[in-house]
Homo-oligomer: A and B are copies of this chain.
Amino acid sequence: MSAGWFRRRFLPGGLLSAPGPSRPRASPVPYRRPRFLRGSGSGPGPADASRRPDARPVRSPARGRALPWNAGYAEIINAEKSEFNEDQASCGKLCIRRCEFGAEEDQEWLTLCPEEFLTGHYWALFDGHGGPAAAILAANTLHSCLRRQLEAVVEGMVAAQPPMHLSGHCICPSDPQFVEEKGIRAEDLVIGALESAFQECDEVIGRELEASGQVGGCTALVAVSLQGKLYVANAGDSRAILVRRDEVRPLSSEFTPETERQRIQQLAFVYPELLAGEFTRLEFPRRLKGDDLGQKVLFRDHHMSGWGYKCVEKSDLKYPLIHGQGRQARLLGTLAVSRGLGDHQLRVLDTDIQLKPFLLSVPQVTVLDVDQLELQEEDVVVMATDGLWDVLSNEQVARLVRSFLPGNREDPHRCTAHPWEGHVEGCSPAQSNEPISPLSQSLLSFFLLATLAVQKQLSIRVSHQWWATRRPGRRT
């Protein structure tokens, strides 16, 4: 994306602001649930007779096959807030091919023998909004984008130090010194590949949704295990934590209009046209009213971490660019997240004001050096959409995990109720007899918990047990 593209696409008079009406329409993205849920049934079976009558059904992978690293997964059946479940998930094995370099311009990617592959694992959660299409496309596409981006840099990843030139030919004798001075490591290439893959996937979603006349967006939380490290990439308000015996470590940060206030206000400062005179970029503790005119009220602008007082003018009475706090905070009165994929056509209701310029598709990536951590058998990573974190704190989730896992040590499937069937496109299915990688020997386990119940009763199925947790004062 270039600056020129940005201006043509989003500023008044831009050439790209409306899609061509004569373009033939592609067929809509078909609805589906995650592939690894195939055969698991759509609701609780007879074994679930003990569940509370007000608990909504939970789906987990069918019993018999394991997810990578014997991960557990659970999702709550749609609370009928929307026509379809808007969340999606995918996981699988990542097989990264090496390319053979030649001097010719038309060099080809060559698939070498399997032993030369670099393999990893991939788990992803996508929390959709405005329809399920973006989340489905992300679940179908992002791992392919990531594989492609990783294959483009894999030569650098497997070197002792990423070379200045990917070909390995040292044009300048001091190149290795410069790479070392900049502190560039193999993991920086994986981080760069994740960042690029999210952007590429966002562009694919934009094209596909425009072609099929669909709309929607989604957050994306991805974990990738590769070369002894676990990478967690997050764009949106999902969250991943590492739960250990005596530690709960956040592995991601949430990106919402509140947490990214300064970035969003800064863009509105640089390009006030984006607000079309309908919004104020300033933040106030509440929406101002006519009575406030001429009063000195609390406010924040883009350059401020602290608060000041300003004399209220008429333009301050406009609707704020970011309004509300906590879960109620909205960007342009519309969206509760500030990063994610999709939303290319999203506009403020009854206006031509676009939200996409304020959204970032780039994730923040954190790296967990699994080889350096002395992990115990009960150490797990919990990834979940905001449905879980709205009703349980990190510590509460950790307590749940710690209360269950040690009591089921003999159960090889204790993190997952059922085997997984099928596999994600672009990833090879996990073979039950594949050799255990050094990473899985390190005893790190996964929970993939996709909850679709926002502010609703929450049930998490882990292994064969049910937990029903209800937030005090909330109605089911």
Q: Which residues of A contact B (CB under 8 A)?
A: 3, 6, 149, 152-153, 156, 162, 164-167, 169, 171-172, 174-175, 178-179, 181-182, 184, 187-196, 199, 269-272, 285-286, 289, 291-292, 295-298, 300, 303-309, 325-326, 360, 362, 364-365
Do B303 and A166 touch (CB < 8 A)? no
Measured CA separation A297–B300 after assembly (Å):
42
Q: How far is the CA of A271 from the CA of B175 in the complex (A)?
A: 31
Q: Given known contacts A182-B325, A184-B285, is B296 in contact with A166 (CB within 8 Å)?
A: yes
Inter-chain contact B184/A269, CB cutoff 8 Å: no
Complex interface: chain B residues within 8 A of A286 (CB): 164, 172, 174-175, 178
Report whether A164 and B305 are in contact in the complex, using a CB–CB cutoff of 8 Å. no
What residue in chain B is nearest A153 (Cβ atoms)? Answer: B309
Known: A167-B295, A296-B166, A309-B152. A326 touches B181 (CB 8 A): yes
Residues of B contacting A296 in the complex (Cβ-Cβ under 8 angstroms): 165-167
Instruction: Decide if B189 touches A306 in the complex (CB within 8 Å).
Output: yes
Q: Are B3 and A195 in contact (CB under 8 A)?
A: no
Residue with the greatest number of chain B CB neighbours at <10 A, chosen from A166, A175, A297, A298: A298
Question: In the complex the two chains form, is B270's CB within 8 Å of A189's CB?
Answer: no
Q: Are A325 and B181 in contact (CB under 8 A)?
A: yes
Q: Report Cα–Cα, A270/B164, bound state, in Å.
A: 28
Rounded to whole angstroms, the CA-CA distance of A3 and B196 in the bound complex is 30
**Cβ 8 A contact of A179, one of B167, B195, B272, B298:** B298
Residue of B whose beta carbon sits closest to that of A269 = B3
Q: CB-CB < 8 A to A179: which residues of B?
A: 285, 298
Q: Inside 8 A of A305's CB, which chain B residues have their CB?
A: 191-192, 195, 364-365
The chain B residue sitting closest to A183, CB to CB, is B325
Closest CB-CB distance, A406 to chain B, in whole Å? 35
Instruction: Find chain B residues with CB under 8 A from A360 CB.
Output: 303
Q: List 17 A-B contacts (CB under 8 A).
A: A3-B270, A152-B309, A164-B286, A164-B298, A165-B292, A166-B295, A172-B289, A175-B285, A181-B285, A181-B325, A182-B325, A189-B308, A191-B304, A193-B306, A199-B303, A270-B271, A305-B364
Are A285 and B178 in touch, CB under 8 angstroms? yes
Q: A182 to chain B: which residues have CB within 8 Å? A: 285, 325
Contacts of A193 in B (CB 8 A): 306, 308
| Contact yes or no, A298 B199, CB < 8 A | no
CA distance A325 to B183 in the complex (A): 10
A194 to B307 Cα, complex, angstroms? 10
Complex CA distance for A192 and B179, rounded to whole angstroms? 40
Shortest Cβ distance from residue A443 to the other chain B in the assembled complex, whole angstroms: 28
Q: Are A189 and B307 in contact (CB under 8 A)?
A: yes
Q: Cβ of A6 and Cβ of B270 under 8 Å apart?
A: yes
Distance from A356 Cβ to chain B, minimum over Cβ atoms (Å): 15
* Apart from the given pairs A3-B272, A6-B270, 9 other A-B contacts in the complex at a CB distance below 8 Å: A3-B269, A164-B286, A166-B296, A171-B295, A187-B306, A191-B306, A193-B306, A193-B308, A270-B270
Complexed CA–CA distance, A285 and B180 (Å) = 9
Residue from the list B164, B271, B297, B306 in contact with A188, Cβ < 8 A = B306
Distance (whole angstroms) from the CB of A142 to the closest CB of chain B: 17
Establish whether residues A171 and B292, one from each chain, have CB atoms under 8 Å apart when the complex forms: yes
Chain B residues contacting A191 (CB-CB under 8 Å) are 304-307
A207 CB → nearest B CB, Å: 20
Contact of A194 among B187, B295, B306 (CB under 8 A): B306
Most chain B CB inside 10 Å of its own CB: which residue of A156, A181, A292, A307: A307
Report which of B165, B307, B362 forms a contact with A295, defined as CB distance below 8 A.
B165
The residue of chain B having its C-beta at the shortest distance from the C-beta of A152 within the complex is B309
Q: Which residue of B lies closest to A105 (CB)?
A: B294
CB distance from A363 to the nearest CB of B (A): 9
Please give me the 9 A-B residue pairs with the lowest Cβ-Cβ distance, nearest first.
A191-B306, A192-B306, A166-B296, A192-B308, A178-B285, A178-B286, A188-B307, A188-B306, A303-B362
Contact B165 A297 (CB under 8 A): yes
Q: Could you tell me the distance in whole angstroms from the C-beta of A376 to the nearest C-beta in chain B?
A: 29
User: Shortest distance in angstroms between A320's beta carbon and chain B's nearest beta carbon?
Assistant: 12
* Chain B contacts for A362, CB-based, 8 A: 303-304
| Min distance, Cβ A280 to any Cβ of chain B, angstroms | 13
Question: Which chain B positions have C-beta within 8 A of A169?
Answer: 295
Chain B residues whose C-beta falls within 8 Å of the C-beta of A162 in the assembled complex = 298, 307
CA distance A149 to B308 in the complex (A): 9
Decide: A309 and B166 in contact? CB cutoff 8 A: yes
**For residue A291, which residues in chain B have a CB less than 8 angstroms away from its CB?**
171-172
